[in-house]
Chain A
Amino acid sequence: MARRRLDLTFPPRQATKPITYHLVKDFDLTPNILRAQIQPGQEGRMLVEVVGPREAIDAGVAFLEKEGVDVHPAASDICLDEDECVTCGLCTAVCKPGALTLDSESKALVFDKDKCVYCEACVVACPRRAITLTF
């Protein structure tokens, strides 16, 4: 089983189509929607994690692209600028999945991207605007 995070951009005309339904029914994938901004008639964005056999994920991605959905890998979407970070630690106070933590001894900021659900709480909290999410 493979796991892949996808950043989907829907053109306005597609935004109402139930693509997650098709991912489940037609490709036997398990989609987990981490973040979505979809409104009728407007460009939509969805961050989704899909779990399934590698070939099924590839086929699912091909289906999405054929449907006019712009598919990008999502892993590079969040960025911590270490030059701007002052290690205050405020981001750790709002990070529910525990992706941002402080080392128990040095209190340096540790960012475990695998745990990030792209909720943007840290982006909003960071007083240095050092964390950016590029959707």
Chain B
Amino acid sequence: MAKSWEEINARIASGDAVVLTAEEFAGLAAEDGVKAAAKKVDVVTTGTFGPMCSSGVFLNFGHSDPPIKMQTITLNDVPASGGLAAVDTYLGVTEPSLVKGIEYGGAHVIEDLLRGRAVRLKSTGPGTDCYPRTEIDTWVRLEDLNQAYFFNPRNAYQNYAVAANTGDQLIYTYLGPLLPRLGNATFCSAGALSPLLNDPTYRTIGVGTRCFVAGAAGYVAWEGTQHNPNQNRDENGVPTAPSGTIAVMADLKKASPEFFSAATFTNYGVSSFVGIGIPIPVLDEDIAATLALTDADLTATVIDYGVARRSRPALGQVTYAQLRSGSIEIEGKTVPTGPISSLPTARKVAAEVKRWVAEERFTLAPPLEQLPQPGTQAFKPLEIRSEEAI
């Protein structure tokens, strides 16, 4: 039993497609078997809503009179890039405010824009013959901008580390505060609902894949930064540690603050929760088998963040079902767990994508180009060396 993309899209277009979320599909497969579920269901939807630091927006402000070539740019005192054309910029979510530090950053500016709030734009320029203005201080809203779109270089990490701390001090990390002597462990994945865990070898997710980005319909633009297809994999071919990633694009004007939220991690920095959802076509029983995997089948690696080095020691492996139970065993000790990625919102994302496909006839696009596959491309470190040594 195999279905083609065209057959599935035809069923979506006619409103006849059977669409389930990954959680619902796993339930059906447990009852009727993977074979029957694969036959019955056309599309399975996924979703995740966690902090994703490599996110940001391209903005075009339009030209003032007289015009300015913007070289230094701040939005609500958060610096944005002056390294593009005169009134283009890129604002990254992790950029801290010059005034409020990490309590307000690029992510908060984007959330304010999404909520319809006016944002103060200040800029200076060199003053040129064609751009004579040297300063500007004005207010802009999302609706005033010509273009405003997400380009998130790394979202939807395929699996992530579980963070714990064997040290004697409380430490603050991008995975939250980690209590000393294995006082807690935090994790950050939607598990069985996570987009890339449902397509472990990137068969259906690639460049050009239509997806949900912060409430807007967008695209997978490229492999994400640090995409590493060569991570350890389990018997189902699913990575057991952080591996694949995607870069995504979508119109900020069509996004929703329900699915994009600014975040501050104390003593670490600014980030943003981003909702990402991807519909996956049930092409055959192979893909159905991975779509049917549950949190009990998916494994993550516990990493000791108490060791502040690039290679931190692994403390063991646990399943997402164990993580979600509220405690795990590490080195014989019962350690309480807490998530950083919202499962209730991930479920909302998957349900919304299901509604798009089933009711709004959101058709699927086969990859224009595949993401780098397992066995290709190494994940390289940064070496510290002199010009002479290279």
Which A residues fall within an 8 A CB radius of B? 86-94, 101-102, 106-108, 121, 124-125, 127-129
Contacts and interface: CB of A to CB of B under 8 A. Distances in A.
A111 B71 CA distance: 47
Contacts of B79: none
A110 to B, nearest CB: 12
Given A121-B177, A127-B51, A90 B264 contact: no
Interface string B330-368: 000000111111111100000000000000000000000
B49 interface: yes
Nearest to B49: A86
Contacts of A124: 177, 266
B341 A88 contact: yes
Contacts of A129: 103, 264
Nearest to B265: A127
B261 A90 contact: no
A90 B343 contact: no
B277 interface: no
A121 B180 CA distance: 13
A89 B338 contact: yes
A93 B175 CA distance: 10
B279 interface: no
Interface residues of B, number: 30
14 contacts: A86-B49, A86-B261, A87-B342, A88-B50, A88-B51, A88-B339, A88-B341, A90-B186, A90-B339, A107-B324, A107-B339, A107-B342, A108-B344, A121-B177
A106 B348 CA distance: 12
A90 B103 contact: no
Contacts of B177: 93-94, 121, 124-125
B72 to A, nearest CB: 28
B261 A128 contact: yes
B179 interface: yes
Interface hub of B176, B177, B263, B336 (most chain A Cβ within 10 A): B176
B343 A107 contact: yes
Contacts of A127: 51, 176, 263-265, 271, 273, 340
A35 B337 CA distance: 25
Q: Chain B interface mostly helix, strand, loop or mixed?
A: strand
B340 A94 contact: no
A93 B344 contact: no
B185 interface: yes
B189 interface: no
Interface in B210-244: none
B184 interface: yes
B345 A87 contact: yes
User: Sorted from nearest, which 3 A-B pairs have the closest CB atoms?
Assistant: A93-B338, A127-B263, A89-B339
Contacts of B176: 90, 93-94, 125, 127
A129 B340 CA distance: 14
Nearest to B268: A127
A42 to B, nearest CB: 25
Contacts of A92: 338-339
A91 B338 contact: yes
B242 to A, nearest CB: 18
A5 B337 CA distance: 29
Contacts of A125: 176-177, 266
Given A88-B339, A93-B336, A128 B263 contact: yes
Contacts of B262: 128
Nearest to A93: B338
A21 B290 CA distance: 64
Nearest to B271: A127
B342 A93 contact: no
A86 B265 CA distance: 14
Nearest to A121: B177
Given A86-B49, A128-B263, A129-B264, A94 B344 contact: no
Contacts of A86: 49, 261, 273, 342, 345
Interface string B94-121: 0000000001000000000000000000
